[in-house]
A and B are shown apart, each in its own frame.
Chain A
Amino acid sequence: AQKVTQAQTEISVVEKEDVTLDCVYETRDTTYYLFWYKQPPSGELVFLIRRNSFDEQNEISGRYSWNFQKSTSSFNFTITASQVVDSAVYFCALSEAGGGNEKLTFGTGTRLTIIP
C-alpha cells in the first residue's frame, strides 16, 4: 500500500529564512508520481509540482526547489528567502501508475507560518 509521511506538523520561521519541508513515501511500484500542493488560508488546493519516479533531477522554480532522492524515498521541498505569502499548509502526495491502483494519496500536511 502506498503511504506518504510528513513528519513536520507545523513549522514557523522568520521571513527571509530558508525552510525545508520533508516528505517520505512508501510504495511497491517502480513507476509512481510525486506531487506537492499548497493550501493557503483561503482553503483552495494549488498544484506546485509533479515528479515521476524516473526523473531524479532536482527542480528549481524561483524561490522553490525540490529534492527527489529514491535512495531515501524522499521528496523534500525547500523555500528560499521565505515570504509571508508562503504561509500555508503544504501537502505531499503520491500516486502509483497503473495496476488499477492509481489513487492520489496525500500526506497529513505541514503547516508553515512565516513570521514577518
Chain B
Amino acid sequence: DAGVIQSPRHEVTEMGQEVTLRCKPISGHDYLFWYRQTMMRGLELLIYFNNNVPIDDSGMPEDRFSAKMPNASFSTLKIQPSEPRDSAVYFCASSLVGLNNEQFFGPGTRLTVL
C-alpha cells in the first residue's frame, strides 16, 4: 500500500510568491494533519481535518496560511504571500481513528523562500 504522498518534495520560491503544498493521505484514513518542522520551533501542528472538515487550525501561524481538504484523498496547504521565515519542512500525516493513534507521515516538502 502507498503511504502518505506529498508533493513537491522540494520547493524554492521567492518572497511574495504563492506556494501550494499537496498531500494525499492513506486511503481510508479519517484524519489528516499538517505539521511544520524548523530548527527553532521543532515540530508544530498547523491544522488537522476529520472527514475533510477542519477541526483545529489554531496552529496556523497567520492569515497567509490556508489549508483545504476538498475530498478524502487530497489536501492542500497554501502560503500567500510567502516570506523567508516560512522556510521549513512541511509534513502531512494521516491516521485511521484520531489524534490518539499512530500517525503515518509523508516524506515532507522542504520549502525554501528566498
Q: Is there contact, CB below 8 Å, between A103 and B99?
A: yes
Q: Is there contact, CB below 8 Å, between A47 and B43?
A: no
Q: Is there contact, CB below 8 Å, between A103 and B91?
A: no
- B74-98 interface code vs A (CB 8 A; 1 in, 0 out): 0000000000000001010100001
Given contacts A91-B43, A108-B42, A109-B42, A102 and B99 within 8 Å (CB-CB) = yes
Q: Is there contact, CB below 8 Å, between A102 and B91?
A: no
- A80-116 interface code vs B (CB 8 A; 1 in, 0 out): 0000000000010001010010111111110000000
Distance, CA A2 to CA B23, complexed state (A):
28
Is the C-beta of B107 less than 8 angstroms from some C-beta in chain A? Answer: yes
- CB-CB contacts below 8 Å: B49-103 with A: 56, 59, 89, 91, 93, 98-103
Q: Is there contact, CB below 8 Å, between B107 and A44?
A: yes
Distance, CA A102 to CA B31, complexed state (A):
12
Given contacts A33-B100, A108-B42, A103 and B56 within 8 Å (CB-CB) = yes
Q: Is there contact, CB below 8 Å, between B98 and A103?
A: no
B: contact size bracket:
20 to 34
Complex interface: chain B residues within 8 A of A45 (CB)? 91, 93, 105
Given contacts A43-B89, A45-B91, A109-B42, A95 and B100 within 8 Å (CB-CB) = yes
Number of A-B contacts (CB under 8 A): 45
A31 → chain B closest CB, angstroms: 9
Distance, CA A33 to CA B103, complexed state (A):
13
Given contacts A45-B91, A91-B43, A102 and B108 within 8 Å (CB-CB) = no
- A29-70 interface code vs B (CB 8 A; 1 in, 0 out): 000010101000011111100101000000000000000000
Q: Is there contact, CB below 8 Å, between A104 and B108?
A: no
B residues at A contact (CB < 8 Å): 33, 42-43, 45, 56, 59, 89, 91, 93, 98-108
A residues at B contact (CB < 8 Å): 33, 35, 37, 42-47, 50, 52, 91, 95, 97, 100, 102-109
Identify 11 new A-B residue pairs, CB closer than 8 A, beyond the known A50-B100, A104-B33. A44-B105, A44-B106, A45-B91, A45-B93, A45-B105, A46-B105, A47-B102, A102-B99, A105-B45, A107-B42, A109-B43
